[in-house]
Structure formats: C-alpha cells, structure tokens
C-alpha cells in the first residue's frame, strides 16, 4: 500500500513526491522521496515476525532508486538490504555497518558480508553532515533509540523540506536533548521551515503507558544487583542502552559482565563509538546530547568459565573465570534459547535470577509476535524478573516533536498501528488539521 503526495509545482520541472509504504503497521518501513532529478528510499525493512502479510515485492527496475538511506540497524528498517540491486549505493551510520557486519559474520551470511564490505557501495553518514543526491540535500541527525546509531533524515528538495524521524525516543541515556536538537539544528531557531513531517507512532497503540526511563531502570537495576549478585540477562545484543544500564548497575556493585563472543563484539562497537563522541569537538551537534558516559564497557568478558585467569607473578594463585564469577557475582548476557540452559544450570546452586529485558509481547500467546521458544525457556528458568523499557517515543514526546517541528504542510504518522490516535494528542490546533493518513 502506498500513498503519494505531491509538492506544489513552482516551476514546471520541480515537483517533490513522497511515497509511504506500510505506514499503518510497525515493520516493513519503506519511504520513497523523489524530486525531478533524484529518487531516494529511506529504509527497506522487513515485516515483523508473525506479520500476516509477506514482504511485498518492490519493483526496482520501474522505480529506479538512486540511493537507499538507512535510519538504523533494526530489521524492520534494514532487513531487506540484500534485495537492493548492486548498482544502488546504500547510506548508513558507522555503527550500523559494524553491527550488521558482526551479525553477518556470526550467521555466516556471505552475501550480506560481501555487500557490507564493499566500500564503493556502502556510504558512511555522519550526524549533522549534509550530502547530496543530485538535487536533494540530505542531513542525518543522531537520535536516541534502542539502536545505537539511529538517525532522523532531513531532505531538502528544490521545493520541499521533509523530515523523516525514523525510530526515536526521549527517555534513553541520550534522549534529553532531542527537542533542543530539533530547535537548534533542524529548525535553526525557527528560521528553517519543515514542510512535511513523517513521524513514527509505535506508542500510539499504547497511549496510557507510563515512561520508564533508562535512568529509572538503572536505579532499579542497582537495587537488583544489591540483592542478587548472580544475574542472567536476556536482552537484545544490539540494544546498547539496555546493555549499558545493566552493565553500569552491575559495576556499581563491583560485578563484571560476561557474554558470548558475538555479544562482546557488538559491545566493542558501542564502546568504540562512544569513545569517539567523547573526543568529538562538537559533540552536542553530532550526538544530540553527546552523552557517552554509560558505554565504557570496560569490564565485559567473553563467557568462558573454565578459562584460567593468570595471577601475574604467582601461578599458584591462578583462578578460573568461574571462580571469579562465584566470588564476585556476575551479569551474564544470554538468549532465551536452549544452548544457554547449560549456562544457567552450571550456576544453579547459587540460585541465580534471570532478567527478561525485552518486549513482553513476545511472551503473550495472544500476540501475533508470540515466541513459543522464549516462553518455554523462561518457564524453565526458575526466578525470573521482568525489567524493560521501550525504544520508542511516548505519545507525549510525539506531540512535543510535532509542535517543535511545526510542519507547514502535512504530518504523516508512520510505523504505527494506531495512526488516528495522533489527533487526540496535545498538539497545536493549527497542526491538527495537517495530519494526513496513508
């Protein structure tokens, strides 16, 4: 399903066109924006697991896309990248490329690896640094999300300025500067007019949900580690913020983090990027807040309980990783999957706690994304705690962003199952009339 809106024709040859695909669902995110000279796609995502419809075919030949811009590395935005014809360049953040490469490496996906390692095809984007595809000027802005480097894109065609938010939120470690970033860099204190806003509305289906911020979660996790020194953590290996929250909470209690080498490699990407932000001269501009603190990840080790850790100078004092874990406590990152049961069993005598820090929808048999494996795994775990925060903007923040962007022409909710709820938000009256639907 697609909707086409057309810009005002100022000159015969200038006309901006926007096509939104799958805007009325979460998943399969695709937007195509064209001027008279260029056509760019923002995201080429897969439908979420359990979706009724298969991913619809995209007619690359007829559409002749000049470039694909990815907002971030979640599958509902980047999942179909291998289908993109080899002649089309793809733009993504540095960490997005690294995270995708690590996934491809560990899943032995040689096709994906080949694309990701192709420097002529994969183009790097940098926050607040504009580039052009023909007559479309594009500026990415880094935002807070449950993916480490997620971007909004501002596209300026000869007759329209369009902001595509991608996925974002305000309650993560880097979220508090979002509105300031919009006012200063996107709106330039009111001097730049945005005509069209495409805004994600995941949380429009969960209007009453209260914000549980990463900061609140950190406080709760510090308490958790005080009470329980042996914690298995089930969370996404690419959710840098949740990993950072648990890592920081563990560290405050003198506890180290352990994980599969794959997870350690992902964590290395986050640590390295955050260190780069620290050195950046203009970090507010580049990072929508420049908050690098939680991602130091210094005490994260590949899980190898039998490994001998040498006590330098005195071999008699050598210890195994397991001895350290048992003495100091641990936060071991796992997946809700069969092979990890052995990891838990090894420490069963310590009465460990398993923390599930992912979306609860996966555990709900009523939900289409229900995951039987996760449910069965958790049922076998014993003591389970549920601690999770959403990667998406609350309804309140969605309204604040709309008011700050103040689109001159139209507002399109995307990435939502409840677009109509946008009308009930606390947005300025003159903006309410600009809401359009797919």
Quick one: 203 or 353, whose CB is closer to Zn ion?
A: 203
C-beta of 124: minimal distance to Zn ion in Å?
20
The per-residue b/e assignment along 404-434, b for 16 or more CB within 10 angstroms, e otherwise, is bbbbebbbbbbbbebbebbeebebeeebeeb
Quick one: 48 or 113, whose CB is closer to Zn ion?
A: 48
Six-digit token string for 80: 């179909």
Phi, psi for 391 (deg, rounded to 5)? -90, 5
C-beta of 28: minimal distance to Zn ion in Å?
10
C-beta of 381: minimal distance to Zn ion in Å?
27
C-beta of 315: minimal distance to Zn ion in Å?
49
Are 229 and 330 contacting, i.e. CB atoms less than 8 angstroms apart? yes
C-beta of 170: minimal distance to Zn ion in Å?
15
Quick one: 56 or 85, whose CB is closer to Zn ion?
A: 56
Quick one: 156 or 167, whose CB is closer to Zn ion?
A: 167
Q: Quick one: which segment of 51-59, 156-164, 165-173, 287-295 binds Zn ion (CB under 5 A)? A: 165-173
C-beta of 203: minimal distance to Zn ion in Å?
12
Quick one: 200 or 406, whose CB is closer to Zn ion?
A: 200
Q: Quick one: which segment of 70-78, 94-102, 259-267, 351-359 binds Zn ion (CB under 5 A)? A: 70-78
Decide if residue 144 touches Zn ion (CB under 5 A): no
Closest CA to 174 of 144, 194, 203, 151: 144
How far apart are the C-alpha atoms of 242 and 240, rounded to whole Å? 6
Decide if residue 167 touches Zn ion (CB under 5 A): yes
Q: Quick one: which segment of 8-16, 30-38, 162-170, 274-282 binds Zn ion (CB under 5 A)? A: 162-170
Q: Quick one: which segment of 69-77, 105-113, 191-199, 306-314 binds Zn ion (CB under 5 A)? A: 69-77
Beta strands 319-320; 330-334: pairing state: unpaired
Are 112 and 92 contacting, i.e. CB atoms less than 8 angstroms apart? no
C-beta of 395: minimal distance to Zn ion in Å?
17
CA dihedral 265→267→269→272, nearest 10 degrees, is -120
How far apart are the C-alpha atoms of 124 and 109, rounded to whole Å? 21
Closest CA to 67 of 112, 21, 104, 122: 122
How far apart are the C-alpha atoms of 418 and 203, rounded to whole Å? 8
Beta strands 230-234; 330-334: pairing state: parallel
User: How many residues form the binding site for Zn ion (CB under 5 A)?
Assistant: 3
**Coil/strand/helix, residue 252:** helix
Decide if residue 46 touches Zn ion (CB under 5 A): no
Hey, how many other C-beta atoms are within 10 angstroms of the C-beta on 366?
A: 6
The secondary structure element, H or E, covering residue 176 is none
Quick one: 96 or 161, whose CB is closer to Zn ion?
A: 96
- Helices 240-252 and 261-279: angle between axes, nearest 10 degrees: 90
Q: Quick one: which segment of 68-76, 212-220, 325-333, 335-343 binds Zn ion (CB under 5 A)? A: 68-76
Decide if residue 76 touches Zn ion (CB under 5 A): yes
Quick one: 144 or 195, whose CB is closer to Zn ion?
A: 144
Q: Quick one: which segment of 160-168, 245-253, 340-348, 429-437 binds Zn ion (CB under 5 A)? A: 160-168
Quick one: 47 or 253, whose CB is closer to Zn ion?
A: 47
Are 43 and 30 contacting, i.e. CB atoms less than 8 angstroms apart? yes
How far apart are the C-alpha atoms of 170 and 403, rounded to whole Å? 15
C-beta of 94: minimal distance to Zn ion in Å?
17
Decide if residue 43 touches Zn ion (CB under 5 A): no
Place of tokens 């997946």: 335
Decide if residue 74 touches Zn ion (CB under 5 A): yes
Q: Quick one: which segment of 95-103, 166-174, 305-313, 357-365 binds Zn ion (CB under 5 A)? A: 166-174
How far apart are the C-alpha atoms of 343 and 305, rounded to whole Å? 9
Quick one: 172 or 289, whose CB is closer to Zn ion?
A: 172
Decide if residue 400 touches Zn ion (CB under 5 A): no
Quick one: 239 or 248, whose CB is closer to Zn ion?
A: 239
Six-digit token string for 87: 């002649």
Touching Zn ion, residues 338-367 (CB under 5 A) = none
Positions touching Zn ion (CB under 5 A) are 74, 76, 167
């Amino acid at each position: 399903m697609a909707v086409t809106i057309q810009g005002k024709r100022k000159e015969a040859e200038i006309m901006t066109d926007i096509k939104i695909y799958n805007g009325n669902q979460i998943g399969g995110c695709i937007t195509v924006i064209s001027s008279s000279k260029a056509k760019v796609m923002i995201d080429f995502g897969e439908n979420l697991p359990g979706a009724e419809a298969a991913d619809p075919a995209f007619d690359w030949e007829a559409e002749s896309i000049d470039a694909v811009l990815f907002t971030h590395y979640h599958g509902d935005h980047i999942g179909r990248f291998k289908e993109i014809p080899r002649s089309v360049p793809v733009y993504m953040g540095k960490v997005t490329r690294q995270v995708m490469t690590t996934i491809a490496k560990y899943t032995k996906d040689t096709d994906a690896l080949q694309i990701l390692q192709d420097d002529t095809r994969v183009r790097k984007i940098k926050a607040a640094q504009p580039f052009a595809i023909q007559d479309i000027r594009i500026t990415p802005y880094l935002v807070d999300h449950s993916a480490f480097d997620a971007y909004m894109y501002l596209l300026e065609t000869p007759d329209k300025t369009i902001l595509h938010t991608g996925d974002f939120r305000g309650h993560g470690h880097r979220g508090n500067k979002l509105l300031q970033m919009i006012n200063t860099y996107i709106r330039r204190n009111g001097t730049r007019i945005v005509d069209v806003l495409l805004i994600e509305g995941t949380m429009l289906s969960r209007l009453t949900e209260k914000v549980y911020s990463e900061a609140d979660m950190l406080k709760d996790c510090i308490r958790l580690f005080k009470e329980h020194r042996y914690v298995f953590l089930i969370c996404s290996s690419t959710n840098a913020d949740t990993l950072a929250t648990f890592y920081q909470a563990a560290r405050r209690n003198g506890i180290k983090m352990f994980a599969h080498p794959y997870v350690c490699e992902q964590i290395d990407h986050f640590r390295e990027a955050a260190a780069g932000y620290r050195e950046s001269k203009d970090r507010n501009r580049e990072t929508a807040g420049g908050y690098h603190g939680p991602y130091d990840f210094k005490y994260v080790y590949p899980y190898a309980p039998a490994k001998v850790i040498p006590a330098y100078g005195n071999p008699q004092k050598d210890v195994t990783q397991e001895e350290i874990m048992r003495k100091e406590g641990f936060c071991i990152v796992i997946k809700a999957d069969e092979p990890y049961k052995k990891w838990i069993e090894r420490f069963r005598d310590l009465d460990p706690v398993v923390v599930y820090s992912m979306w609860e929808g996966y555990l709900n048999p009523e939900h289409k994304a229900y995951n039987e494996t996760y449910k069965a795994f958790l049922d076998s775990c014993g003591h389970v705690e549920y601690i999770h925060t959403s990667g998406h903007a609350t309804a309140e923040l969605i309204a604040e962003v709309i008011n700050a962007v103040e689109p001159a022409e139209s507002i399109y909710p995307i990435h939502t199952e409840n677009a109509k709820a946008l009308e009930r938000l606390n947005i300025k009256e003159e903006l309410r009339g600009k809401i359009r639907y797919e």
